[in-house]
Amino acid sequence: MRDIFDAIQRSAKRIKEAIDVKDIGYSQQENSSGETQLELDIRCDMIIEEEFSKVNSIHTIASEEKTHEELLHEDGAYFIAYDPLDGSSLVDVNLSVGSIFGIYKGGFGSEKMVAACYVVYGPRVEMVFAENKTKLYLLQGGDFEFVKEIRLNEKGKLMAPGGTQQNWAAYHKEMIDGFFAEGYRLRYSGGMVPDLHQILLKGGGLFSYPGTSDKPEGKLRRLFEVFPFAYIYEKSGGEAIDGQQRLLSLGYGHIHDTAICFFGSNYETNRVKEVYAKNA
Ligand code: F6P
C-alpha cells in the first residue's frame, strides 16, 4: 500500500502544477459520462496512469475519463478506480477541485475496498487517506506532512444538498427544508471533493445527491466517487447510505454506474433513513 500512497502523492504534486499552468481549453472529446473533457482532465488522467504504471502491486486501473479498465501488472493485487479531476469545470472559476481514488484488493466491488483517498486542490493542497483510520496530510515545502486524524461528530451543522431542486421528490425537499429550519447552514460549491471535505473537517453535516426526476439513480458514479467517499466517511465514524442501505453494500454493473447517495454524521443520516423508509 505504501507504494500506492507514494504514487498518489507524486500524481497530486504534478496535477497541482498542471492546474496552475495548463491552458484549460475544451478538447474535442467526450468522456464516458458524455461530458466534454477538458484538456486538463486528460492531462491529469495521463499523470495518474504514468505514476500507477510504475507500481508493480497495481493490477488494474479504471479511470472516470476512460471507457474501459486497463490492466497494468498481471501479478499485482490492487485494483484502483479513480476520478483524476473531479469538478474540473470549477477550475475555470477558480474554485477547489479534487482527485478521488478507490483502492480494492482482488477486483473491483465495494466489498473488496481496502482503502480510499482524495486530494483537494484549493488554496492549499491536502490529501485524505483512509485505511483503518482517516488521516489528513498537507502539502508543504514539496512534501505531504501528516496533520491529524479525522473524526466526525455525532451531529454537524452543514448541509450540502446536490441535484436540481426543481427535480427533487417532495419528501426530499421537505427533509432538506427541515434541516435548514433546525439551523443548518448551506455549504455547496458543486465540487464533491471540497464539499465533502468541508463537512468532514468541520465535524459533520450532510451531503446529499438524491435521485431526481431527470436522474432517478443520481449523478455520482459508484466506483469513482461514491464508494471511495463512503469508505472514508465510515472510517471517520460517519455513515454513507443510499437512503436506506449502506452504499458499501451496493454492487455495480458497469464501471460508470451511478447511485443515490448521502454522506454525513449519524444524526443526519438517521433522519434520512427515517424519511426514506417512509417515502422512497
Ligand atoms: O460529478 C461531478 C460533480 O461536479 C461533483 O463533483 C459534484 O458534487 C456534482 O457533480 C455537482 O452536481 P450538480 O451541479 O448537479 O449539483
Residue ranges covered by each domain of the chain: 2-149, 158-278
Q: Tell me the pLDDT tens digit for each residue of 81-138.
A: 999 999 988 988 899 999 999 999 999 999 999 999 999 999 999 999 999 999 999 9
Taking residues 152-168, report their average pLDDT. 97
- Output the CA 56–ligand 1 centroid distance in Å: 33
Give the pLDDT confidence score for residue 98 in this predicted structure: 98
What does pLDDT average to over the chain? 94
Q: Scanning the structure block, which residue is given the C-alpha cell 454525513?
A: 264
Residue 76 pLDDT > 60: yes
Task: Determine whether the shortest distance from the Cβ of 163 to ligand 1 is under 6 A.
Answer: yes
Residue 29 pLDDT > 80: no
- Model pTM score: 0.94
Which residues have a Cβ under 8 Å from the Cβ of 135 and sit 6 or more positions away? 128, 129, 146, 148, 149, 150
Instruction: Look at 42-51, 87-96, 157-166 and tell me which has the smallest mean pLDDT.
Output: 87-96
Task: Determine whether the shortest distance from the Cβ of 41 to ligand 1 is under 6 A.
Answer: no
pLDDT band at 223 (very low <50, low <70, confident <90, very high): very high
Residue 37 pLDDT > 70: no
Which residues have a Cβ under 8 Å from the Cβ of 270 and sit 6 or more positions away? none
β-partners of residue 102 are: 81, 116
CA-atom Rg of the chain in angstroms: 18
pLDDT band at 44 (very low <50, low <70, confident <90, very high): very high
Provide φ and ψ at 183, rounded to 5°: 110, 5
Best residue among 85, 86, 172 to mutate for probing ligand 1, ranked by most atoms within 8 Å of CB: 86
CATH of domain 2-149: 3.30.540.10
Residue 164 CA, closest ligand 1 atom number: 15
- Output the CA 18–ligand 1 centroid distance in Å: 22
User: What whole-number distance in Å separates Cα of residue 226 and Cα of residue 220?
Assistant: 6
Give the pLDDT confidence score for residue 70 in this predicted structure: 96
Cell of 26: 475544451
pLDDT band at 201 (very low <50, low <70, confident <90, very high): very high
Task: Determine whether the shortest distance from the Cβ of 86 to ligand 1 is under 6 A.
Answer: yes
Give the pLDDT confidence score for residue 217 in this predicted structure: 95
Q: Scanning the structure block, which residue is given the C-alpha cell 506532512?
A: 145
Report in angstroms the alpha-carbon separations of 133 from 41, 77, 116, 199: 30, 21, 11, 17
Residue 90 CA, closest ligand 1 atom number: 4
CATH of domain 158-278: 3.40.190.80
Residue 225 CA, closest ligand 1 atom number: 1
- Output the CA 191–ligand 1 centroid distance in Å: 6
